[in-house]
Amino acid sequence: MVHTTRDIAKKVFAPIALALSLSLALAGCGNTGTTNNGTAQPSETGAKTTSGTPLKDLKIASASAVSTLSVNQEAGSANYQLAALYQEGLTGVDATGKVVPALAEKWSSDDNKTWVFDLRQNVKLHDGSTLTTDDIIDSINTARDAKLSPGLSVYWPDYVDKVEKTGDNQITITLKTPQTEFPTQVSNVAGLFVTSKKFREEAGSDYGSSKKLIDGTGPYQVTEFDPSSHVTLKKFKDYWGENDGPDTVRVDFITEDSTRLLAFQDGKVDASFNVPVTGVDQWTKNDAKVTAYSDRSYYGLTFDQGVKPFDDIHVRKAFSYALDKASIVKGVLKGYGEVATSIDSPEQLAGWTDNDKDKAAEAVKDLGALDYNIDKAKEELKQSSQASGFTTTLTYPTGYPAVGKASLALAESLKPLGITLDVKEIPLEQWLSEVGNGKQGVAWMIYNPTTPQPNEVTSWLLAAGGAGANPANWKDDEVAAKTDSIGTLSDTTEKLNIVLETTKTALEQDIYSPVYWGKAAVATRKGVGLKNIDTFWLGTNWAADFVEQQ
């Protein structure tokens, strides 16, 4: 898949990821039901899966505002998070990352090219009308259209040949090449958000705005939307599935951390997403709790070999050896992160190891990522074309203070080598526009996976090089060919081995220098608990996971 700047924005815009891991054994055929049945990971505060009674009204604070309710138009992580409550795809996921039925009751393919989806009948839309097969086909064609869906069309590349109605309640999607993980592409965590054809046409350019809101089939119906303030939803009484969540949900957009914290401490909201992991202590006063979980985000340095002096591998290795990753995780992140030994995190790759994170962690622990060693950093620089040192710039985006602190820590480590690292904070949009522009020798790569594809991050970072095809502008035809072949394979072990082999090549050449895998954190007030929270919960009906406790 070729990634654009718009696609990159979707990955990094909000700290909470909606990424969902896929177990391929479950991708071929679905079962009925889409309830949240995951097992929660223990949080950093020691909280575990809990029980309680449903809240009547839930008020949430989010650090990310959205300008539209339509993910077709704006595919930021916050947009996905909200849409999980009001729109569905043919498939969905549960809190553990398992692909489950949604608007399709089941699906099958004999060759991984022709995919047949048998649709759920008598599904109601929020406007009271009944969803039709033609509505779903129209939603698919809309998602494929780059003009109508600049946020989603990236998930519908050239390998989709045709979409047909092959029965009153059946759709067949034919691909040009086999794609074993295609069922994830038609989920509401990837590339499909279904509405009625009539609503879409009548709404026109107002689709998803405060004027026309949005019409979906999800467990909640949007009743109010102010892009500068909030979105309000109510439980949809005619929802085809189960929904034991609150009667109403209100999400307030509070982008300033201090203002969001004050609203939480004053009791104006029951919970807050986007808790800064560098300031958790402030959020746990008055018996409040903070629950952290792996969001599979990747943070690392990218070196462009086309920019001097980073065309010299000794310069690149000097930087990597000067990175004190363990100290960054302990000192900057306060333990709310994990030293990255590879690019794809163990939680992400676990879909190819029978959901065994420990097995995935073992597989990626020795792929060639360099550990902190300032003496070796000095030795490498002495062998380079810049033995006496040099000056360069490293930028990081506004809204990522931990990355800024990590950059300053690296700058201090580089001083004894004679390297001056000028650290600059720049607006997020500027940072996004400069990713992979061929002018930066060293740059941060911040990537929040959003799809169920276990190798989502490396599918881009190891893609065919040149012309900005990957952020390092790195060209290795053999690596690119192997990376591209993964989507056509069925054997998960074979897929995993290709990822390990190609990642090892990139790390040995020091094209990428992994720093840490991130965690996301949620704060809940006294008396509010979380159930079923797992790495993938924000792609489910997450509102139902907040419960009242005595």
pLDDT value of position 49: 53
Q: Which of 520, 518, 532, 542 is nearest to 47 (CA)?
A: 532
Q: Which of 510, 464, 509 is nearest to 483 (CA)?
A: 464
Instruction: Determine whether 452 is exposed, middle or buried from the number of CB atoms within 10 Å of its CB (0-12, 13-18, 19+).
Output: buried
Tokens at 257, concatenated: 């951390």
Cα–Cα distance, 179 to 163 (Å, whole number): 15
pTM: 0.81
Q: Which of 451, 449, 393 is nearest to 14 (CA)?
A: 449
- Torsions phi, psi for 46 (to 5 deg): 95, 0
- Torsions phi, psi for 286 (to 5 deg): 60, 40
pLDDT value of position 506: 97
The DSSP secondary-structure symbol of 263 reads H
Q: Which of 224, 107, 79, 84 is nearest to 170 (CA)?
A: 107
pLDDT value of position 453: 78
Residue 174 near residue 152, CB atoms below 8 Å? no
Tokens at 104, concatenated: 């399709």
What pairs with residue 160 in β-bridges? 175
pLDDT value of position 284: 94
Length of the chain (residues): 550
Cα–Cα distance, 50 to 464 (Å, whole number): 46
pLDDT value of position 175: 95
Cα–Cα distance, 464 to 352 (Å, whole number): 23
Residue 152 near residue 79, CB atoms below 8 Å? no
Quickly tell me which residue has 């095809």 as its tokens: 469
Instruction: Determine whether 147 is exposed, middle or buried from the number of CB atoms within 10 Å of its CB (0-12, 13-18, 19+).
Output: exposed
How open is the CA angle 333-449-11, to the nearest 5 degrees? 85
Q: Write b or e for each residue in 345-374: b if 16 or more Cβ atoms lie within 10 A of its Cβ, otherwise e.
A: bbbbbbbbbebebeebbebbeebebbebee
pLDDT value of position 38: 27
Residue 40 near residue 48, CB atoms below 8 Å? yes
Digitized pLDDT (tens) for each residue of the chain, 550 residues in all: 333 333 444 444 333 233 222 222 222 233 323 222 222 233 343 334 567 888 999 999 999 899 999 999 998 889 999 999 999 999 998 877 788 999 999 999 999 999 999 999 999 999 999 999 999 999 999 999 999 998 788 888 788 999 999 999 999 999 998 888 899 889 999 999 999 999 999 999 999 999 999 999 999 999 999 999 999 999 999 999 999 999 999 999 998 999 999 999 999 999 999 898 778 889 999 999 999 888 889 999 999 999 999 999 999 999 999 999 999 999 999 888 999 999 999 988 988 998 788 999 999 999 999 999 999 999 999 999 999 999 999 999 987 889 999 999 999 999 999 999 999 999 887 888 888 899 999 999 998 886 667 888 898 899 876 545 789 999 999 999 998 888 888 899 999 999 999 999 999 999 999 999 998 899 999 999 998 788 788 999 999 999 998 7
CATH placement of domain 296-519: 3.10.105.10
pLDDT value of position 112: 92
Q: Which amino acid, 153?
A: S
Residue 136 near residue 171, CB atoms below 8 Å? yes
Cα–Cα distance, 72 to 193 (Å, whole number): 8
Can you spell out the DSSP letters for 69-81?
S-TTT---HHHHH
pLDDT value of position 20: 27
Residue 86 near residue 214, CB atoms below 8 Å? yes
The structural domains of the chain, with segments of one domain joined by +, span 21-288+525-548, 296-519
What pairs with residue 232 in β-bridges? 224, 250
Domain 21-288+525-548 CATH (choose: 3.40.190.10, 3.40.50.300, 3.40.50.150, 3.90.228.20):
3.40.190.10
CA 417 to chain centre: 36
Q: Which of 325, 472, 339 is nearest to 413 (CA)?
A: 325
Q: Write b or e for each residue in 525-549: b if 16 or more Cβ atoms lie within 10 A of its Cβ, otherwise e.
A: beebbbbbbbbbbbbbbbbbbbbee
Residue 321 near residue 373, CB atoms below 8 Å? yes
Tokens at 168, concatenated: 């009153």
Q: Which of 96, 521, 446, 516 is nearest to 293 (CA)?
A: 521
Cα–Cα distance, 547 to 534 (Å, whole number): 16
Quickly tell me which residue has 């008598």 as its tokens: 122
Cα–Cα distance, 22 to 449 (Å, whole number): 13
Quickly tell me which residue has 């590349």 as its tokens: 157
How open is the CA angle 196-252-184, to the nearest 5 degrees? 45
In sequence order, which residues have a C-beta less than 8 Å from that of residue 492 and are 6 or more positions away? Answer: 24, 351, 352, 353
- Torsions phi, psi for 172 (to 5 deg): -120, 125
- Would strands 391-397 and 420-426 be described as parallel, antiparallel, or unpaired? parallel
Cα–Cα distance, 484 to 464 (Å, whole number): 9
What pairs with residue 172 in β-bridges? 116, 164
Alpha-carbon torsion (445, 446, 451, 457), positive or negative: positive
Residue 254 near residue 260, CB atoms below 8 Å? yes
Cα–Cα distance, 192 to 338 (Å, whole number): 32
Helix H or strand E encompassing 300: strand 289-303
